[in-house]
Amino acid sequence: MGGVIVGILWFILVFVVASAAKKKGRSYGNFWILSFLLSPLVGLIVLGVMGDNKETLQKQSIELGIMKKCPFCANDVKKEAIVCQYCGKDLPIINDDSVYFIAKSKLRIVEGKTKNSKTVEILNKGSVVKLIETDNEDKSIILIETSNNNKGYGHISNFTKK
């Protein structure tokens, strides 16, 4: 009888450790296996030593709509913010049905569709831009508007849809 109670308690603690790992941005499955095979105590110690996975937690908070990226300094700010707490710039208010994209990396926006076109603006990774139109001939080229109200062309592969 005592072995059954220990087994049930062990199983419950395995789920507790795995859930704690998920809340810290770590893999639920990996910590479930670690805790089940070695012990929930070992899983808890490993989780404590590893700490939070800040990158995963930041991505989750943006995906859930809790935070957004400042288009100027690329720091995460609360979605309700109207001024960035890091750089002090006014944040664009996004409250229409337009399509928005986020720059995957630092890139330049140009005024024309050729390689020698003049640079309109340099975007930092995480900058938010508004889609104006897609090129009729080359669907991978898009006309966008930046948060500084500059319009220019970019390649769709450089952005992710917001």
User: In this model, does residue 44 exceed pLDDT 80?
Assistant: yes
Nearest to 147 by CA among 85, 80, 84: 84
Write the pLDDT tens digit of every residue in 46-64: 999 998 988 888 887 777 7
Write the pLDDT tens digit of every residue in 99-129: 778 888 888 888 877 777 888 888 888 888 8
Say which amino acid occupies 129: V
Would you state the pLDDT for residue 49? 93
The CA-CA-CA angle for residues 107, 108, 110, to 5°, reads: 150
Would you state the pLDDT for residue 93? 66
For domain 94-162, the question of CATH label 2.30.30.40 is answered with yes
* C-beta separation of 124 from 103 below 8 A: yes
> Any bridge partners for residue 110, and if so which?
119, 153
Q: Provide the 3-class DSSP secondary structure of residue 90.
A: strand
> Any bridge partners for residue 102, and if so which?
128, 160
Domain residue ranges in the chain: 2-52, 94-162
DSSP β-ladder status, 107-110 and 119-123: antiparallel
* C-beta separation of 162 from 100 below 8 A: yes
Structure tokens at 75: 């720091």
pTM: 0.47
Would you state the pLDDT for residue 42? 93
User: In this model, does residue 45 exceed pLDDT 90?
Assistant: yes
